[in-house]
Amino acid sequence: MPRLRVLLACLLLIPPCAWPQGELRFITATNHAPPLVLFEAGELKGGLLVETEDALARRLGLQARHIPLPSLRVALALRNGHADLLCHSRPQWIDGEFRWSRPLFDNAEVLAARGDAPPLRQLLELRGQLIGIVRGYRYPTVEQQLGDTLRRLEAVDMRANLDKLLAGRMPYAFTDRITLREWQRRHPAAGLREEMVLENYRSACALSPQSFLSLQEVDAALEAMQRSGELRAILRRHGQ
């Protein structure tokens, strides 16, 4: 059976079937955008997150395998052991009793605005306004303050969300700082701006309860990447 069919069969079986020895399996949420991940014609080609995960696997003496999944399927796949790690995530974003690594990246949830959108002083001014969001993402700070007054215009991923913002479908959109800065770098004439910081955070990696790895091994590898400057070099290569 071809390798791709083996991979798909493994994802569909509960409990998980055997995986090739020496692989470290990472889930890649398909609603990420550059520079975190780069998809071309639906195929994962690279990105900041992919390069970081490849480096982490090498530190552990393993070969990285990246499994793209829609965000709504990520938690179940990780719980059932169909992957070992989900990186650049937070406990607030996915349901499940996962083990969490040391911090990985500094990032922030931000509100992006079109150039002609009125300035805002506080989040409550968004009540009743149509706001761009990414399907499957959670916005705890926003949902707590706005509740049912939040009107959502959903997009399949971060790139589509900012495309809709630029096209005038709505005046504001929720995104993350890393993604917005990359968009501003690639489209300097678009006029999109960071209007408001919703929350600064440090993302981490969630370890499947069924993984053969220990949290101590993952943390030691991440610490070595940070101490050696490898992680900093990866961030610089992707404009961070």
In tens, the pLDDT along 197-222 reads 999 999 999 999 999 999 999 999 99
The reported pTM is 0.85
Are 24 and 90 found together in one domain? Answer: yes
Going by pLDDT thresholds of 50, 70 and 90, the confidence category of residue 135 is confident
What's the CATH code of the domain at 219? Answer: 3.40.190.10
Are 25 and 91 found together in one domain? Answer: yes
Spell out where the chain has E strands: 23-29, 38-40, 43-46, 63-69, 85-89, 99-100, 106-113, 130-134, 151-155, 172-176, 193-202, 204-207
Mean pLDDT of the chain: 89
Q: Which string of DSSP letters, residue by residue, matches 107-134?
A: EEEEEEE-TTSPP-SSGGGGTT-EEEEE
Going by pLDDT thresholds of 50, 70 and 90, the confidence category of residue 192 is very high
Within a domain: 8: no
Torsion of CA 178, 183, 140, 216, to 10 degrees: -30
Q: How many domains does the chain have?
A: 2
Range of the domain at 194: 108-201
**Position 23 pLDDT exceeds 90:** yes
Are 223 and 117 found together in one domain? Answer: no
Reference 102, options 187, 219, 199, 237; nearest CA is 219
Are 167 and 233 found together in one domain? Answer: no
Are 148 and 71 found together in one domain? Answer: no
Are 172 and 115 found together in one domain? Answer: yes
Are 130 and 176 found together in one domain? Answer: yes
Given strand 99-100, what is the order of strands in its sheet?
Answer: 63-69, 23-29, 85-89, 204-207, 99-100
Whole-angstrom distance, CA of residue 89 vs CA of residue 107: 11
pLDDT single digits (tens) 63-121: 999 999 998 899 999 999 999 999 999 999 999 989 999 999 999 999 999 999 999 99
Within a domain: 184: yes
Are 31 and 66 found together in one domain? Answer: yes
Are 155 and 40 found together in one domain? Answer: no
Rg of the chain over CA atoms, in angstroms?
Answer: 19
Within a domain: 5: no
Within a domain: 4: no
Are 98 and 215 found together in one domain? Answer: yes
